[in-house]
Amino acid sequence: MDEGVSFPKVSVRRLPVVDAAPIPAGGGQLMTEAGMLTQVVNGDHIQLVVLLEFRADAEHLRGNHVHYQKREMLYLISGRLRGEYLDLDTGIRYQVDVRPGDLVTVDPRCAHAYAPLEDSLALDLSSLPYDSSDTIPYCLTEDSAG
């Protein structure tokens, strides 16, 4: 998935890697002699940033829930994940393998779960602060990380 995929309530796009500034307005990765600089978001008002660890040997998935207000973004730093999504309005299911450098955007009313294909690290970002009443359990896929 070099150019990304898009469904009505889920988009996955690979942040481009550039050799020189400026980084594209929608985010990107700048390779320098000192290492990679990744600009995940620029211009959005972010109120929540969470670092997520996904362990390949975990017995439970991350996710298996839905938000009715929150639009969230997941940026995969390392590893590989399989994302499962269900649009609650249309009943359409999606499955996407997420790789490092991918930015996944999940709109409200889209149930989602992530299974690690290997140990992984990701950032979860949202323009809304965390609200436990907006994280509703939804059994999208069996609760097994493998």
Instruction: Tell me, yes or no, whether 50 lies in a domain.
Output: yes
Q: Has residue 135 got a pLDDT over 90?
A: yes
Q: Has residue 141 got a pLDDT over 80?
A: no
Instruction: Tell me, yes or no, whether 142 lies in a domain.
Output: no
Instruction: Tell me, yes or no, whether 45 lies in a domain.
Output: yes
Instruction: Tell me, yes or no, whether 77 lies in a domain.
Output: yes
Backbone angles phi, psi at 26, to 5 degrees: -85, 10
Instruction: Tell me, yes or no, whether 52 lies in a domain.
Output: yes
Q: So what's the pLDDT on residue 143?
A: 59
Q: Has residue 1 got a pLDDT over 50?
A: no
Count the domains in the chain: 1
Residue 81's contacts (CB-CB under 8 Å, 6 or more residues apart) are 54, 97, 98, 114, 115, 116, 117, 120, 122
Can you read off the two tokens belonging to residue 143?
A: 């609760």
> What confidence tens digit (pLDDT) does each residue in 22-72 have?
998 888 999 899 999 999 988 778 999 999 999 999 988 999 999 999 999
Residue numbers of the domain that contains 63: 5-129
Instruction: Tell me, yes or no, whether 140 lies in a domain.
Output: no
Residue 73's contacts (CB-CB under 8 Å, 6 or more residues apart) are 40, 41, 103, 104, 105, 106, 124, 125, 126
Q: So what's the pLDDT on residue 30?
A: 94
Instruction: Tell me, yes or no, whether 146 lies in a domain.
Output: no
The CATH number of whichever domain residue 83 belongs to comes to 2.60.120.10
Predicted model pTM: 0.89
Instruction: Tell me, yes or no, whether 143 lies in a domain.
Output: no
42 close to 65: Cβ distance less than 8 angstroms? no
Q: Has residue 2 got a pLDDT over 50?
A: no
